[in-house]
Structure 1
């Protein structure tokens, strides 16, 4: 059922004080709560709920928690726990009085993301762009001149080695087979665990021939478990007609891990996240990153994120430029006129009216264009700040859908941090000017006396 709106009561509570009366109304978070159009949020996401059943959790509460999570780099569990301690967070989420209990179970955050999907997260990113324009953190004219770049959103997986993948795939198959009531001939638990340990020791000692022997033992154990499960599953299906869809999916992943070679394409790098890709961005300290490529579009003047999306399949950077600019137009209603990119975007294929300037260009470069080409480098610290202060550095959400949602929400978190900094600076400058005015008034009174 649709959630009930958080309506304000007309009368005061005798034993409780309203949050509006407790808080400093000049605080940045307090002022931010009035810059977001929560009515539009409730109308947009309210259509995703059914008309019958138990009333859902207030939409403003769920959206506010996601904004706070990605603004302050919290997990689902910690953002709910900190919400109880912070009255400014509660006011942002629409609470009238201070609450001393957790508002939701952290698992509700996952269910809400599944409900709104990628489109809902993109809508939330668009709301931060509107809030940025309303607070004058970014101007509408700045959206026409943007910097575009790509980065890698790392997945929460261990560094993939063949030995570890064999061990993890075998363990996952054995656990799932036991849950389905399949009696295996042998689980190889102790054998595989010892082989993985010895493989790491031999590799550390540079005894590579012995390390490969242990790796081969792990691969053999995985192959035996795969064949044993396949025989038992076929036997169960012929006798009782049972379906094992999840087990079949895991068997396919395990077979790919068992069969893949070093130089194959489309390899599996994680058992629980088979969508992970190996991406080389040319970094000396980190030759390979495991996750998904993400396109970032920021304004050239304010470095405000006006577009961010996951790009599965590790596409060529130049082929992603059109999709990134279409997202900017979708979110802001303004089509960029000047785009500044690095040399990885050569061969993008975009025609007029969009003018794409590639770093290192010489022909037709004026003084103003040269300044903007130098300003293109500002997108790099934007990505760095998002990875350090936000959550693109390690994505914990599941599947390709989780990759897309995390990228969009991280862009929203970056924008909210800039808006909060803008509101805090405005308040500080107002205080300074007010103090100066009072000091001048006092000095004038003293002179007249």
Structure 2
């Protein structure tokens, strides 16, 4: 059940503190709380709850605000709750009306928040927040001279759109076939132990798993600093045989009917994952192949796929691939997928999204080589959009200085999105997504882009405040 919170936000001066103080209007959390349109999306959040059944859910501002705090500070779920409990500004940010020494909720609820607030909702909030700020700043643009406004009207295309793609690696160890099979074998052994326990008196003896011998066979190769291909194939063959034997034992135990109830939900899911891993690894072993469609590289997170990026030092990454765009210094998440995809196919949709957001097509699109195919070039040419980079075909013998300068300027512009990716991975958590479920991982990634835009808005606010303060001081000194 969901109960809508008070529609009127609490002003910072009305926030009750135990020591009879007042919150500062210039605090970063107070400023960011005013930037986010909480009320506009509360109704959509309330739709996932029952109207009259269940205990009342926590407000939308508390749920989203807690996720923003976690990402902004780069801390764990438990530390997020502790920080909120100790800091009155954080309590104001999540919508509390007075300070309390008690934790607002248990740390485990942050997982529920990530499940309820999906990636689409976070992207909508991100778009609306930036658009709201841009609409407020349009008043200043109206002060332009008449000639400047006429030039703006004559130009059908305005602005620059920067596109690129990257990978957000998950929290898994670097996979290898032998290690993955060893983990799968251990899983099957634990499932056999669970299934046999209630049938101990009915069966004559426990099915043999040869776990000690299987572990020795694994360590014999895994502990070697360098092992030959023949040794690895031999070790993989042995582990496949152990898993095949264990899976047949599990099938025999499950035929009793009652044994299936002894498995927990996580064990049942693990059994399905192990069966698929065995099928994939058996096929690759028989065909001497190194790849297979929808290859599983982690038993705990089977949704993660290898993403071939071809970067120096990291030719393959394991996580979600995402396509993003930068407009006016703000970054937006346009697409996210656990499977590899060609980002060039998203250019048309990203340009149309730019037009929907701004009302016009961009003047130029700044992309790398993979986007510059014939289809995308023709699409941009029809709409009067200049796409960065050299034209297709053999390069001319002589290139004018103007074109060289234009190409250099285009690369400087495209550095903006590379910088955004760098910040997201060094300053925030995009370099190692700690969420384990596919939908919660996507929400965590989308929250990163939301927090990055909040940081940009906050930096602009402080720069404007500093400039006004210096201008006021100069005025008092000289007049």
The equivalent of 1:217 in structure 2 is 238
Change (3 A) 1:46 1:190: same
Distance in 2, Cα, partners of 1:277 & 1:240: 33
Aligned residue for 1:288, secondary structure, equals strand
Residue of structure 2 in register with 1:121 after alignment = 122
Alignment deviations for residues 355-394 of structure 1 (CA, whole Å, 9 cap, x no partner): 3614334899877686345311221111111111122211
Aligned partners of 1:174 and 1:187 also within 8 Å: yes
406-415 or 365-374, which moves further after superposition?
Answer: 365-374
Q: Paired residue for 1:444?
A: none
Paired residues for 1:35-434 under 5 Å: 35-53=35-53, 54-130=55-131, 132-133=133-134, 144-180=159-195, 185-202=207-224, 204-206=225-227, 209-210=230-231, 212-233=233-254, 235-237=255-257, 246=269, 249-261=272-284, 262-266=289-293, 267-299=295-327, 302-326=328-352, 328=354, 332=357, 334=359, 336-337=361-362, 338-347=364-373, 349-350=375-376, 351=379, 352-353=382-383, 355=385, 357-361=387-391, 371-434=409-472
Distance, in Å, in 1 between the alignment partners of 2:159 and 2:212 is: 61
Q: Distance in 2 between matches of 1:252 and 1:348?
A: 44
Cα distance in 2 for residues equivalent to 1:195 and 1:348: 54
Identify if the C-alpha distance between structure 1 residues 46 and 333 changes in structure 2 by more than 3 Å, giving closer, same or farther: farther
TM-score scaled by length of structure 2 = 0.78
Report the 3-state secondary structure (helix = DSSP H, G, I; strand = E; otherwise coil) of the residue aligned with 1:280: strand
Aligned counterparts of 1:379 and 1:199: Cα–Cα separation in 2: 44
CA distance in 2, matches of 1:193, 1:354: 64
Q: Take 1:358 and 1:8, find their aligned partners in 2: how far apart are those partners? A: 46
Q: Look up the match of 2:203.
A: none
User: Which range moves more in the overlay, 186-195 or 139-148?
Assistant: 139-148
> Shift of the alpha carbon at 1:242?
6.3
Instruction: Please give the root-mean-square deviation of Cα atoms over the aligned residues, in Å.
Output: 3.6
Q: Distance in 2 between matches of 1:240 and 1:212?
A: 35
Q: Which runs of 5+ in 2 are unaligned?
A: 142-151, 200-205
| C-alpha contact 1:226 1:251 (8 A) present in aligned 2 | no
2:18 maps to which of 16, 19, 29: 16
SS at 2:172 equivalent: coil
Q: Is the 8 A contact 2:172 2:298 kept in 1?
A: yes
Query: Could you report, residue by residue, the CA deviation over 1:22-59 in whole angstroms, capped at 9, with x for unpaired residues?
Result: 33212232222222222213233223322113211021
- Report the Cα distance in structure 2 between the residues aligned to 1:320 and 1:355, rounded to whole angstroms: 16
Is the contact between residue 35 and residue 134 of structure 1 (CA under 8 Å) also seen in structure 2?
A: no
Distance 1:373 1:177, change over 3 A: same
| Deviation for aligned residue 1:294 | 0.7
Whether contact under 8 Å (2:192, 2:249) holds in the other structure is no
After superposing the two structures, state which structure 1 stretch, 364-373 or 72-81, moved more: 364-373
TM, length-normalised to structure 1:
0.83
What is the rounded CA distance, in whole Å, between the counterparts of 2:468 and 2:76 in structure 1? 35
Unaligned segments of structure 1, at least 5 residues? 442-449
Distance in 2 (alpha carbons) for counterparts of 1:229 and 1:29:
55
